[in-house]
Amino acid sequence: MINLILALLSGVVGALLTALIPAKNDRLRTTVVFAALASALIFSWRTALLVFAGAELELTFGLAGLTWRLAPDPLGAMFVLIASTLWLVAGLYSAGYMAGKRNLKSYYSFFLLANSITLGVACAGNLVALYLFYELLTLSTYPLVIHERSAEAVKAGAKYIIYSLSGAGALLAAIVITHALTGHSDFTSVPVLAGQTGKGLNWLLALFIAGFGVKAAIMPLHRWLPEAMVAPTPISALLHAVAVVYSGVYGIIRVVYTVFGPELMSSLTFAKALPWIASFTILVGVMIATRQDVLKKRLAYHTISQLSYILLGAFTLQPLGLSGAMLHMISYSLLKVTLFFCAGIIAEQTGETVVSRMGGVGWSLPKTMAAFGVASLGMVGMLPLNTFWSKYYLMRGGVASGSWPLALVLITSGIINAVCFIPTVVAAFKGESQGRVHLESGSSVSLMLVPTVLLAGISLLIGLWPGLVWDGVQAVVNSFF
Amino acid sequence: MMTSWTTHLPVFVVILPLFVGFILPTLARRLRLVENLVIAVEVISFVMAAALAVLLFKQNGSPIPYAMGGWPAPWGIRIIADNLGVLFLLVIAIVGLPIALYTKGNLREEVGGRSRTARFYALYLLLMGALAGMAVTNDLFNVFVLVEVATLSACGLVSAHRNPRAAEAAFNYLILATLGSGLVMGSIGFLYITTGHLNMEFAARELAQVWQHSPHVVWMAASFMLTGFGVKAAMFPLHVWLPDAHSMAPTPGSAVLSGLAVKGYLICLLKILYNVFGQTLMRHFTMHHVLTAAGIAAILAGSILALRQDELKRRLAYSTVAQVGYIILGFGFVNQRGLAGSLFYLASHALIKSTLFLTAGAIISATGKTKVSELAGVGRKMPLTMGAFTVASLGLVGIPLFSGFVGKWHLLLGSFESGNFAAAAVILAGSVFCAAYLFPILRNAYFQETPGENWQDPGMAQRAAFVLLSAAIIFFGILPTPLLTLAQRAAADLLFLQ
């Protein structure tokens, strides 16, 4: 219990301290930020391992006339592990990327605050608490989106807020209906709505999906995401490729497996349409990505496509599909953060943000582009990388659910992914190495490079030895089937 | 005897501000005394309202009646401190005290002149007395008298500002509000002709038996009542006077008008609709549909109009139009959850909107800027003021753990219970609109900068007012149970549920 509380509080306390430290005192701020991130990481891991070991952690509060519950289960613990680990990595990268930039105080305060809130999303034990953290996540990440303070950033921020709050509105409606139907919304081993009948449940499911779908960037609710790329790169990498969007994905998995439950889901008409909605987003997202010339935009549309891989796995309602979804949740997050980190290094060191002008950049940034290449292969789903395994299980899940075309969707998407990334990697090593300036030396670059290469390495490791994460994945699957 | 002072509480709570209000203009030379007297009245009112609430909870919500002059009804005037009345008395007291604190030491600047200031205070207390009267009244003619007192003192408050445009706004308000009073008066006349009673309980009993003899007259009475109070409570599209009046008034005036005065008329309307006409007649005349439709229109139109205003106080004034829509919407659900949600929302909005107006006034007087787009960097320079503004904004948007959320939650429950999904969608859309017109102010204030200006938080009394109000918004967001119980019991009373 104490681990859970400390994991959740580390970020908040760190944020408050950061806000109190004078803006000029960089050294003290860095110390506080890393202390907070490390403490969040340690206690998150302890919490998660306890949960995987079968401990039942539960905290309830009676506030605002409702019950608020924190009770991480294996699914939540999985999200906790991904979020807290990547947060520290992104913090490390930030130390290099943000060095010498403006408004660091507000950057790090909200960066830490968002950590606590994301862990809150993961640990929420009922819909009301989940809604609270989901809403707070929007508010706490908004200042990070508009960090540049430019007109473009303000516009993107407004779009982000409006989309997210509209989604939260749909979600609130769904939660109130759930409460009216059952009187509670606690996540337990019995699905919240188990035993309910009626056609209205299709609409309720649609409300839930629309609510979480905004953050999970299901098309056509995705428009805020590409624009949010005006944020600093570590934010794009961590929040808009993983934490924020995963809170939507996580919410949908919760709804499917804990609120409705596979049994009830399989009886709903709308649930049958969901894998196809996800497939549409997968294909269209990656196709649009291929046409983007600005690297961060390309990555953003690619994110939209990849998130629906996870959703597709969850929507198959098969243990195999869910295994694939969980594997992809882990694998994709590692690779995507790597890609964004690379994009950030390229932009910082060469000033280049457009893909078509990145020819030969690999000779100046060999390690960066090597990591980029590894991650690109991963996005295609090639064997030595972790995503191979997730795609394999996603396809098996699709086939097991009786829709073999879903496997075809994934294969097609893999090919488009190759078109999307491989040419860039090849082009980066075009031309002569002679006469190029080597741009990978200096302390701030190494601070960015170390986490990037580290993540690419971990992805390879999991690809070669998937057993590393398999137990966790199975724990999640077994908690629902 | 201990009981002797508590038995008279329902009437003291009304006459204390009225009597003190009348002597204030004679004390114009001693302005500090006037200020302290007003604060003292507010403190005593708060204590009395709290005492009434405690009494009410002790007897599990059964109303506390009081026969004026010892004459029993229907011959004498009977006032009743029931759940609804005590809820509103509490709201008046909780909002009134910070507003009085805010005026301490800085009202003269806005109003000008000692005697003008003293007269402002006199009108302020008259308005507070009238509102307290609306909370406890149980008599149709008293409703009219109180409405008139409130309207005239409200007009005075609007015109108190030295700005000539304020006089114009007050005049417009006066004309329209008098029209509203006329309609209310006419309606009361119809009811008196039909039933022969002015006491609400007796009139209701009589009306239930005789309305079928003259259904058209009763229908006229109902529609006059709705339109009359609709004008006064700024029910869209009868709101045209509100943006000018509420934005032109001096800051505490705006706060009390938007926060409390509008609510007083809504409480009167609620009492007459449910206690005199009753839900059967309301449904018969499809008044609940009119109310929901008006609520939906108000939320959408008010929000969109608010979005288009660049002047801070006007934006807040249009926001009031939208928020009144939520309350009316709840009146139209005709079920306990919806009504309780609506009443809680009424209380919450009273707190939030007065906070917003007071902080906006403080910002305007510190910076001299009235436009939203000019307020860059206020957040860092006036942290306490902007902090209170932020709390109120989050409350109005309906972020969980702020008071607005509780109200919206129950309104949503009510709308689903009545099967009105469109209303639920509008309630939620209203929150998004609300964020759209309030958050840009916060963004400018915190994330932009205006270098060189030396703006500061106002004085101690004003800061205390801001702290009290924001604390109340958070308190009722986290621990809504006492207020919510009152609201739920009041709703049950209105629907005659046991």
> Is A162 an 8 Å CB contact of chain B?
yes
Q: Which of B344, B391, B401, B446 to mutate to test the interface with A (most CBs of A within 10 A)?
A: B401
Confirm or reject contact between A149 and chain B (CB < 8 A): yes
> Which of helix, strand or coil describes residue A241?
helix
| pLDDT for the residue B413 | 93
CB contact under 8 A, A165 and B432: yes
With CA atoms as reference, the chain B residue closest to A106 would be B447
Query: What is the nearest CA distance from B342 to chain A, expressed in angstroms?
Result: 16
**Rounded Cα distance, B184 and B225, in Å:** 5
Q: Nearest CB to B447: which of A66, A149, A158?
A: A149
Q: How far apart are CA B487 and CA B498, in angstroms?
A: 14
Structure tokens at A248: 């939507």
Predicted pLDDT at B1: 42
B436/A170 Cβ within 8 A: no
Window 61-120 of A, Cβ < 8 Å to B = 63-66, 106
State yes or no: pLDDT of B56 exceeds 80: yes
Q: Is A158 on the interface with B (CB under 8 A)?
A: yes
Which chain A residues have a beta carbon less than 8 Å from that of B413? Answer: 176, 179-180
Task: Report the distance separating Cα A93 and Cα A96, nearest Å.
Answer: 5
Which pLDDT score, from 0 to 100, does residue A365 have?
85
Mean pLDDT for chain A overall: 89
Which of B335, B393, B447, B449 is the mutation pick for testing A, counting most A CBs within 10 A?
A: B447
Q: Which residue has the tokens 């291929």?
A: A290
DSSP secondary structure code for residue A481 in this structure: -
Helices B312-333 and B336-367 cross at an angle (nearest 10°) of 170
Q: How far is CA B122 from CA A367, B27, B156, B168, B459, in A?
A: 77, 10, 10, 22, 23
The alpha carbon torsion through B350, B355, B360, B365 (nearest 10 deg) reads 120
Judged by average pLDDT, the poorest of A62-66, A438-442, B245-249, B362-366 is A438-442
Of the candidates A218, A236, A237, A216, the one whose C-alpha atom is nearest the C-alpha of residue A227 is A236
- Cβ atoms B64, B80 nearer than 8 A: yes
- In tens, the pLDDT along B340-359 reads 999 999 999 999 999 999 99
Residue A27: name the closest of A134, A99, A75 by CA: A99
Residues paired with residue A60 on neighbouring β-strands, in sequence order: A69
Distances in Å between the Cα of A147 and the Cα atoms of A11, A243, A336, B119 are 19, 18, 22, 49
DSSP string across B206-258: HHHHHGGGSHHHHHHHHHHHHHHHHHHTT-TTS-TTHHHHHHHS-HHHHHHII
Q: What average pLDDT score do residues A244-248 get? A: 92
How far apart (Å, rounded) are the C-alpha atoms in residues A474 and A465?
A: 15
Mean pLDDT of B316-344: 93
Residues of chain A in contact with residue B408, where contact means CB-CB under 8 angstroms, are 172
**What string of DSSP letters covers B1-50?**
-HHHHHHTHHHHHHHHHHHHHHHGGGGTT-HHHHHHHHHHHHHHHHHHHH
Dist CA A194 CA B129 (whole Å): 54
Three-state DSSP at A417 gives helix
CA atoms within 13 A on the CB side of A45: 9
A354, β-bridge pairs: A294
Q: What is the pLDDT of residues A310-337, one digit of tens each?
A: 999 999 998 999 999 999 999 999 999 9
What's CA A176's distance to the chain center, in Å? 27
- Greatest alpha-carbon span in chain B: 74
Q: Which two tokens stand for residue A219?
A: 């098309």
**Structure tokens that stand for B21 in this block:** 């209000």
The predicted model gives B29-53 an average pLDDT of 91
Residue written as token pair 């007649």: B281
Report the distance separating Cα A232 and Cα A225, nearest Å.
Answer: 14
Closest among A219, A194, A198 to A209, alpha carbons compared: A219
Quick one: which of A92, A262, A83, A107 has its CA closest to A190? A262
Residue of B nearest to A163 (CA): B432
List all residues of chain A from 172 to 191 with a beta carbon under 8 Å from chain B.
Answer: 172-173, 176-177, 179-180
Beta bridge partners of B199: B139
Tokens of B108: 């003269």
Instruction: State whether B399 and A139 contact (CB < 8 Å).
Output: yes
Question: In chain A, what residues touch B432 (CB-CB under 8 Å)?
Answer: 162, 165-166, 169
Kindly state the average pLDDT of the residues B367-380: 86
Tokens of B296: 């939906």
- Cα–Cα distances (Å) from A70 to A1, A280, A425, A447, B37, in that order, read 10, 35, 44, 35, 49
| Cβ contact A131–B477 (<8 Å) | no
**What digits encode the pLDDT tens for the residues B459-476?**
888 999 999 999 999 999
Q: How confident is the model at residue A434 (pLDDT cuts 50, 70, 90)?
A: low
Indicate the pairing of strand B64-67 with strand A66-70. Answer: unpaired
**Distance (Å, rounded) from C-alpha A150 to C-alpha A230?**
9
Whether residue B178 contacts residue B270, with contact meaning beta carbons closer than 8 Å, is answered with: no
Report how far apart, in Å, the C-alpha atoms of A316 and of each of A246, A310, A311, A395, A473 are: 18, 10, 9, 10, 16
Tens of pLDDT, residue by residue over B430-461, are: 999 999 999 999 998 888 887 777 888 888 88
Q: Which residues of B touch A127 (CB under 8 A)?
A: none
What sections of B368-480 are H helices per DSSP? 378-381, 383-397, 403-417, 421-447, 460-478
Beta carbons of A65 and B416 less than 8 Å apart: no
A294 CA: distance to closest CA in chain B (Å): 27
Domain map (residue ranges) of chain B = 343-498
Quote the pLDDT of residue A355: 84
Cβ contacts of B448 on chain A, cutoff 8 Å: 149
B401 CA: distance to closest CA in chain A (Å):
6
d(CA A418, CA A379) in angstroms, rounded, equals 8
Question: What was the pLDDT predicted at B72?
Answer: 80
pLDDT digits (tens, 9 = 90+) for A351-381: 888 888 887 888 888 888 889 989 988 888 8
Judging contacts by C-beta atoms under 8 Å, the chain B residues touching residue A65 are: 406, 409, 480-481, 484
Beta strands in B270-392 (DSSP E): none
Report pLDDT for B8. 84
Per-residue exposure over B389-399, b if at least 16 CB sit within 10 Å of its own CB, e if not: bbbbbbbbbbb
* pTM for the model: 0.92
CA distance B219 to B267: 20
CA–CA gap between residue B237 and residue B294 (Å, rounded): 8
Residue B3: is its pLDDT beyond 60? no
Min Cα–Cα distance to chain B from A53, Å: 33
Provide the chain A residues 113-132 that lie in CB contact (below 8 A) with chain B: 128, 131-132
Rounded Cα–Cα distance for residues B316 and A249 (Å):
37
Mutate which of A142, A165, A204 to disrupt the B interface (most B C-beta within 10 Å)? A165
- Burial-class residue A203 by CB neighbours within 10 Å (0-12, 13-18, 19+): middle
Res. A266: pLDDT tops 60: yes
For chain B, which residues lie within 8 Å of any Cβ of chain A, measuring from their own Cβ? 397, 399-401, 405-406, 408-409, 412-413, 416-417, 424-425, 428-429, 431-432, 435-436, 439-440, 443, 446-448, 477-481, 484
Separation in Å, CA B213 to CA B195, B216, B219: 11, 9, 12
- Nearest Cα neighbor of B60 from B472, B495, B488 is B488
CA distances for A6 relative to A49, A58, A69, angstroms? 15, 14, 16
Q: Name, in order, each residue with C-beta under 8 angstroms of B286's C-beta and a sequence gap of 6 or more.
A: none
- A78-87, A252-261, B26-35, B429-438: segment of lowest average pLDDT: B26-35
Please check whether residue A167 touches B, CB under 8 A: no
Distance CA A213, CA A167 (A): 7
The average pLDDT across A30-47 equals 92
Measured between beta carbons, the chain B residues lying within 8 angstroms of A166 are: 428-429, 432
